[in-house]
């Protein structure tokens, strides 16, 4: 006899709308997150799941299903709530979850049947039981964040392979103990880092390899934080023959032995949250564990080992005046940094930064869709919001200009890694094209 038919769930990662109300889709989503393939695996034993990342395909509003799950990041929130309304108008039940939905629960709850606040591990069964009984709760949440000892293998087969870049996402740890005042996840996860057993992480990397993919992106806030755990992971990765990239902090470069092991295990680049060149900015933001004066040496040590650097900067911290844009550009060009991502400081609810700026009456009354880190949504201390916006775009254009690309990547003394660095030229040219049309990658 056939068993009861499985619940049909549509899981959607919502994209951000531009000012014209249109969703802009990149030709390829270079980095894609773990949220959808991982949620698919969490729901898998009870439901048949279809996932849709709106950054690569349109949302099928009329898809026949029993339940719609939505997840979204930052400025995608208003669009996500509109989509939730549209699904409910079609008689679908809608649940939401994720970091942004959790932080903005008051705004989200009126638009959904249920909200999962925080981690979903261990909450899927009670949630589906309640939905099947017709008595869903408004909110599902753990009293304390659950352990990550028994996580399922993400459903990598669900990734829209032809539309994403060469890296597949994997997660080893969740949370970060740094507690930087502007960072959402650090506070959201309670400034502790939970870890998956190394063998489970290697199991997930092996699953990626079995899809024929050999490049791995760690989505962790900072996978390098616990050096003993990280070293164990490096040892295992070395045996798998993949190339990988991850977020890191500049202080890893103090340990040259660690850098050697990273390079040997297949690390081809790291995204470093430099944030600012001003030590006082770092201190005020609570990131005093790193020293801005050490940045050039950190970059050099990574590059000597063939590890490329993607530098991340936040613009508009209280110490930043109109000179910040030229200072950052000089640092990046002088140190021949391969790629950079700039963010206009964007206060997120639940962070100390948000509380401080709200208390000081410095938040601007702009639509939440503008909270995309490409526009000032607060009054900076040492320049006007307009100066911050203009400086941000000018820096994008100058960093990705032909002259800068030549100086950083091409007209450099060739070393053993010269050819590999040249591979960054194509991405730089593409970013330059986006910057000139005042567009970001996503």
Please, which of residues 223-262 interact with ligand B12 by CB under 6 A? none
β pairing state of 215-218 and 194-195: unpaired
User: Measured from the CB atom, is 1 or 365 closer to ligand B12?
Assistant: 365
The closest alpha carbon to 224, from 258, 197, 183, 201, belongs to 258
Task: Out of 52, 83, 108, 120, point to the residue binding ligand B12 (CB under 6 A).
Answer: 120
Strands 194-195 and 173-174: antiparallel
Residue 357 has which token pair? 């700026």
Question: Which of 323, 314, 312 lies closest to 387, judged by CA?
Answer: 323
Among 78, 98, 347, 432, binds ligand B12 (CB under 6 A): 98
Strands (E), 98-166: 114-117, 139-141
Q: Cβ neighbours of residue 170 under 8 Å, at least 6 residues apart?
A: 34, 154, 201, 204, 205, 208, 216, 217, 218, 219
CB of 96 to ligand B12, least distance (A): 6
Site for ligand B12 in 381-410 (CB under 6 A): none
Interface with ligand B12 includes 75 (CB under 6 A)?
yes
CB of 76 to ligand B12, least distance (A): 4
From 26-34, 277-285, 313-321, 423-431, give the range in contact with ligand B12 by CB under 6 A. Answer: 26-34
Closest-by-Cβ residue to ligand B12 is 97
Query: Exposed, middle or buried, 276 (CB in 10 Å: 0-12/13-18/19+)?
Result: buried
CB of 245 to ligand B12, least distance (A): 12
Cα(309)–Cα(336) distance, rounded to whole angstroms?
9
Residue 407 CB, nearest distance to ligand B12 (Å)? Answer: 27
Please give the backbone phi and psi of residue 222, each rounded to the nearest 5 degrees, phi first: -160, 90
Residue 95 sits in the site that holds ligand B12 (CB under 6 A): yes
CB of 21: closest distance to ligand B12 in angstroms?
A: 15
Name the segment binding ligand B12 (CB under 6 A); options: 116-124, 199-207, 293-301, 410-418.
116-124
CB of 42 to ligand B12, least distance (A): 7
Count of residues near ligand B12 by CB under 6 A: 41
Q: Select from 11-19, 330-338, 413-421, 427-435 the region that touches ligand B12 (CB under 6 A).
A: 11-19
- The residues with which 339 forms a beta bridge, in sequence order, are 310
Q: Is 96 an interacting residue with respect to ligand B12 (CB under 6 A)?
A: yes
* Residue choice 78, 97, 273, 380 for contact with ligand B12 (CB under 6 A): 97
Among 169, 189, 24, CA closest to 118: 189
CA distance 248 to 298: 11
- Looking at the Cβ atoms of 120 and 353, the one nearer to ligand B12 is 120
| Structure-token match 């950054």, residue found | 55
Instruction: Using alpha carbons only, give the angle 144, 149, 155 rounded to the nearest 5 degrees.
Output: 105
Exactly one of 49, 307, 315, 348 binds ligand B12 (CB under 6 A); that residue is 348
Shortest distance in whole angstroms from residue 371 CB to ligand B12: 7
Three-state secondary structure call for residue 60? coil
Contact 263, 307 (CB under 8 A): yes
Binding residue for ligand B12, selected from 52, 69, 187, 328, defined by CB under 6 A: 69
* Residues β-bridged to residue 180: none
**Stretch in the footprint of ligand B12 (CB under 6 A) among 35-43, 233-241, 391-399, 429-437:** 35-43
Q: Which residue, 15 or 340, is less far from ligand B12 as judged by CB?
A: 15
Q: How far apart are CA 19 and CA 15, in angstroms?
A: 13
Helix or strand run (H / E) with residue 263: helix 256-264
d(CA 206, CA 39): 19
- Answer yes or no whether residue 207 interacts with ligand B12 by CB under 6 A: no
Give the helix ranges, DSSP H, for 309-364. 324-334, 352-359
Shortest distance (Å) from residue 46 CB to ligand B12: 12
- Could you say which residues in the range 155-194 bind ligand B12, by CB under 6 A? 169, 171, 183-185
Which residues of this chain interact with ligand B12, rule CB under 6 A?
A: 13, 15-16, 31-35, 38-39, 53, 55, 69-71, 73-76, 95-100, 103, 116, 119-121, 169, 171, 183-185, 219, 221, 348, 372-373, 442
């Amino acid at each position: 006899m056939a068993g009861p038919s499985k619940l049909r769930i549509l899981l959607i990662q919502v994209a951000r709308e531009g000012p014209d109300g249109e969703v802009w889709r990149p030709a390829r989503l270079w980095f894609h997150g773990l949220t959808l393939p991982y949620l698919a695996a969490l729901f898998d034993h009870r439901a048949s799941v279809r996932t849709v990342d709106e950054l690569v395909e349109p949302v099928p509003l009329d898809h026949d299903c029993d339940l719609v799950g939505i997840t979204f990041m930052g400025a995608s929130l208003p669009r996500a709530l509109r989509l939730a309304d549209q699904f409910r108008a079609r008689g679908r039940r809608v649940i939401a979850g994720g970091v942004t939905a959790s932080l903005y629960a008051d705004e989200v709850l009126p638009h959904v049947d249920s909200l999962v606040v925080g981690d979903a591990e261990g909450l899927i069964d009670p949630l589906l039981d309640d939905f099947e009984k017709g008595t869903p709760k408004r909110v599902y949440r753990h009293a304390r964040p659950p352990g990550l000892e028994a996580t399922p293998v993400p459903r990598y087969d669900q990734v829209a392979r032809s539309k994403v870049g060469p890296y597949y996402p994997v997660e080893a740890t969740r949370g970060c103990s740094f507690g930087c005042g502007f960072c959402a996840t650090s506070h959201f996860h309670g400034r502790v880092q939970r870890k998956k057993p190394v063998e489970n992480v290697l199991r997930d990397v092996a699953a990626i390899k079995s899809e024929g993919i050999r490049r791995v992106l760690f989505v962790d806030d900072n996978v390098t934080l616990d050096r003993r755990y990280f070293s164990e992971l490096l040892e295992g990765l070395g045996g798998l023959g993949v190339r990988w990239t991850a977020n890191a902090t500049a202080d890893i470069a103090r340990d040259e032995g660690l850098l050697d092991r990273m390079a040997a295990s297949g690390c081809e680049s790291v995204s470093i949250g430099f944030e600012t060149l001003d030590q006082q900015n770092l201190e005020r933001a609570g990131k005093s564990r790193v020293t801005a004066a050490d940045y050039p040496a950190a970059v050099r040590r990574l590059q000597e080992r063939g590890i490329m650097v993607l530098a991340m900067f936040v613009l508009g911290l209280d110490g930043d005046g109109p000179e910040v844009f030229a200072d950052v550009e000089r640092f990046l060009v002088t140190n021949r940094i391969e790629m950079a991502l700039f963010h206009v400081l964007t206060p997120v609810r639940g962070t100390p930064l948000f509380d401080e700026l709200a208390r000081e009456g410095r938040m601007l009354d702009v639509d939440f869709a503008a909270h995309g880190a490409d526009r000032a949504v607060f009054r900076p201390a040492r320049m006007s919001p307009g100066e911050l916006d203009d400086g941000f775009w000018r820096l994008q254009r100058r960093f990705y200009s032909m002259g800068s690309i030549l100086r950083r990547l091409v007209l450099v003394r060739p070393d053993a890694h010269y050819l590999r660095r040249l591979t960054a030229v194509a991405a730089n040219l593409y970013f330059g094209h986006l910057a000139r049309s005042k567009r970001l990658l996503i």
